[in-house]
Chain A
Amino acid sequence: GQQLNQSPQSMFIQEGEDVSMNCTSSSIFNTWLWYKQDPGEGPVLLIALYKAGELTSNGRLTAQFGTTRKDSFLNISASIPSDVGIYFCAGQPISGGSNYKLTFGKGTLLTVNP
């Protein structure tokens, strides 16, 4: 099956620092998504990317869809304490049809020290 390698597994940073995390796949994806999960909650979509090379921002978050369609990165600028959580990348394969099956990475645990 498809594998997503997400790195780093965890990060411990100071408030105000910038953060970067990435995801690579063994196969091509049609769509890349970045989610955040807070403790005791389900994942919440942060950014969706639909085209190779696409760069999309959502406030302090920026994500890019790699040109090979096999990778994506997420940057968070000027981190704040509420950025704490687990960040997941997820991809939808090239031939999704009506079956929008997502494959998730293992997540990056972000801790922000005030």
Chain B
Amino acid sequence: DAKTTQPPSMDCAEGRAANLPCNHSTISGNEYVYWYRQIHSQGPQYIIHGLKNNETNEMASLIITEDRKSSTLILPHATLRDTAVYYCIVRVLYTGNQFYFGTGTSLTVIP
């Protein structure tokens, strides 16, 4: 079962930062936070993952609170192509472990 809570939908103006929150209050010490997004009926696309430190890559930044009970995915300059459903997932980091998806946040970037 999904162990995360996300708002069902959000809007963001094009060019502005999109901040997508996720609550994972029951996260275990060995569970990582993953973010994927899914653009209309395509396969989920990996964005970023982290354990306890903030992470940044070419797509986004991941901010994890010190107690690790919540995190925020930041898209620094949202474009129309960032309109998608964003999934926050927690999982133990070994290949045999599964991804349990919730219903995610539907982000709409507005021109």
A and B pair up: no
Residues of A within 8 A of B (CB): none
